[in-house]
Copies of this chain bind each other. A is one copy, B any other.
């Protein structure tokens, strides 16, 4: 359950570093940008940047290591945002341990042999390049202000995330990748308002990519009640959804519908689908790097 004890990004990062906070960062340090992490051998860095350029909705690139191997400093990839806005110069950043929980991939396969609360044994100081990707958590404060609080925030849970069959535009070694999406449930009549509210956050996935019950099968989502990552979906009231129409169940389709956004877990899926050789690392879905600046920085003028 998300504690709201943390006020700043630095506080969340310090708690993650000390392993005193190892669960989701959803709802923590409200208003601060949370970022997805993917760390790749440097030989894949150019292709990954191209993957992001060709797929800016699921993979909005915010920043990357200042040089290969560097885990203590990032440079902004968004011309209008200075690097020191994302992480203050006075902050003591360590990408290898400032996230509550990590994923590690060897030759494109997830290492499930251990819980990874740091990356010390895997990170190569002469090679690995970290990339930060925008996260949909950045528009959740705006949704709350618009009286459209996501169910998982109301219920104090992690957002549900799903594999899809929607193909990424390939880039170099990154072939065969597909979108990962996050989902929030809304009343059908609120969709236009939801779309308009998240649209300005282009570097945090922007407006939804699909909505409605028919989008579930169009996206190739196996079971909307069983997300691959995060927690089970909650309705706008923060209570669990029990049936979807795809089960012949009891939800009035005209009443509430699922809404899907691009998700920054997509690069991890791309690493797996490409069978990327060597060691790649990432945040555990929903367990983000919290930055020093506010979500408003990502909002288009």
Which residues does A use to contact B, with CB under 8 Å? Answer: 50, 53-54, 56-57, 166-167, 169-172, 195, 199, 202, 206-210, 218, 262
Contact = CB atoms under 8 A, between A and B. Distances in A.
A134 to B, nearest CB: 13
Contacts of A199: 50, 171-172
A190 to B, nearest CB: 16
Contacts of A210: 167, 170
B50 A169 contact: no
Nearest to A300: B50
A167 B218 contact: yes
Nearest to A179: B169
A209 B169 contact: yes
A72 B207 CA distance: 34
Contacts of A202: 50, 53-54
A167 B206 CA distance: 16
Which of A50, A167, A170 is most buried by chain B, counting CB atoms within 10 A of its CB?
A170
Given A53-B202, A54-B56, A54-B202, 7 more contacts: A50-B202, A50-B206, A57-B169, A169-B262, A172-B195, A172-B199, A172-B207
B56 A207 contact: no
Contacts of A262: 169
A207 B170 contact: yes
A209 B170 contact: yes
A169 B215 CA distance: 13
A251 to B, nearest CB: 23
Nearest to A215: B167
A188 to B, nearest CB: 14
Contacts of A206: 50, 54
A214 to B, nearest CB: 12
A170 B262 CA distance: 12
A240 to B, nearest CB: 29
Contact of A207 (B57, B167, B171, B209): B171
Contact of A166 (B50, B167, B195, B208): B167
Contact of A56 (B53, B166, B218): B53
A164 to B, nearest CB: 11
Contacts of A53: 56, 202
Q: What are the 7 closest A-B residue pairs judged by CB atoms, nearest first?
A: A57-B169, A54-B57, A169-B209, A53-B202, A54-B56, A56-B56, A54-B206
Nearest to A209: B169
